[in-house]
Structure 1
Amino acid sequence: MSHSAKPDEAAGVAPPAQPQGVQPTQMSGWVGWIAFAGVMMALLGTFHAMQGLVALFKDDYFLVEQSELTIQVDYTAWGWIHIVGGIIIAGAGFAVFAGKIWARAIGVVMAMVSAIVNIGFLAAHPIWSVTMIAIDILVIWALTVHGREITE
């Protein structure tokens, strides 16, 4: 037995055959960004759900009356919008971990919707809304620039 033999070769096991013309996929260091996007999507969904629950149960928490919002809508409606959107984006965040292409697409779309919703909610809680928009931008960036690093 030669010292240059690989362990599989030494044991008489042939490496798995690759179909002709197919290159093995190699994951790069950017896979971490996709994991980051999945975590941030789950966190963003949780934040939206929390914000929705506050809007449903404690209207007086916000800095302005409903009539002073960018988009004038009842806080109860805002609450449900945040809860439903939060569930969708958190679910897509968990699916990103499984490498689902559809989850990346939903993640980008929902992060865009989240940013728009938070612009409409900006007057009610400016610091919170700006934080959410910043997370939205990071999610969009990670999923669009490095999204192909994890696939089904």
Structure 2
Amino acid sequence: MTTTPSTRTRRPTTSGWLTFAAVIIGVTGLFNAINGLVGIFDDDYYLVGETDVLVFNFTTWGWIWLLVGFVQIAVAAGISTGQTWARTAGIVLAILAAVGHLAFLAAFPWWSILTIGLSVLTIYALTVPPSGASAA
């Protein structure tokens, strides 16, 4: 007996790119949360004075990065479970993280450059897979 197209079960599409994006957003979110805690509790950790940061001060940046980090971790969980809203939120957060780290460049240059690069890769990883795909 042959199966007709209407009786075949369709497997959901999985994507290694989405898995990559979920892991990178989760790790970056964890690092941003740690970076935020450092900014809140230890202003002297950074090599430049608060006047050398493009906007705000380290305590304000600390709260911003802590909040962004927690949201990134939640979005990473959403991406890994195949939520469409999480892919869109991941793209928005990657753009915000890249812009934010551009403003934070003087305080933490190597980490900022690395995060900007990872944000670009994350945006690619979230836009390449077909709609409806889920993390592998």
Q: Same fold (TM over 0.5)?
A: yes
Q: Percent identity?
A: 34
Q: Pick one of 24, 27, 45 that aligns with 2:13.
A: 27
Change (3 A) 1:70 1:147: farther
- What corresponds to 1:60 in structure 2? 44
- What corresponds to 1:18 in structure 2? 6
Structure 2: gaps of 5 or more residues: none
Deviation at 1:23, TM superposition (A): 8.8
TM-score (normalizing by structure 1): 0.79
TM-score (normalizing by structure 2): 0.88
**Larger-gyration structure (1/2):** 1
Structure 1 CA distance for aligned equivalents of residues 130 and 62 of structure 2: 31
Q: Pick one of 110, 127, 131 that aligns with 1:144.
A: 127
The residue matched to 1:107 in structure 2 has which SS? helix
Task: Indicate conservation of the 8 Å contact 2:17/2:128, yes or no.
Answer: no
Which structure ranks higher in relative contact order (CA pairs < 8 Å, sequence separation ≥ 6)? 2
Change (3 A) 1:23 1:90: same
Deviations for 1:51-98, whole angstroms, at most 9, x for unmatched residues?
A: 101111111111211111122x12111000000001111100111011
Structure 1: gaps of 5 or more residues: 1-8
- What corresponds to 2:28 in structure 1? 44
Match status 1:102 vs 2:85: yes
Structure 1 CA distance for aligned equivalents of residues 131 and 4 of structure 2: 24
Q: How many residues align?
A: 134
Change (3 A) 1:123 1:93: same
Structure 2 CA distance for aligned equivalents of residues 110 and 33 of structure 1: 17
**Which structure 1 residue ranges, 4+ long, deviate > 2 Å from structure 2?**
14-19, 22-28
Amino acid corresponding to residue 51 of structure 1 in structure 2? N
The residue matched to 2:131 in structure 1 has which SS? helix
Q: Pick one of 90, 109, 113 that aligns with 2:96.
A: 113
Deviation at 1:115, TM superposition (A): 0.3
Deviation at 1:148, TM superposition (A): 2.4
Deviation at 1:26, TM superposition (A): 5.5
The residue matched to 1:67 in structure 2 has which SS? helix
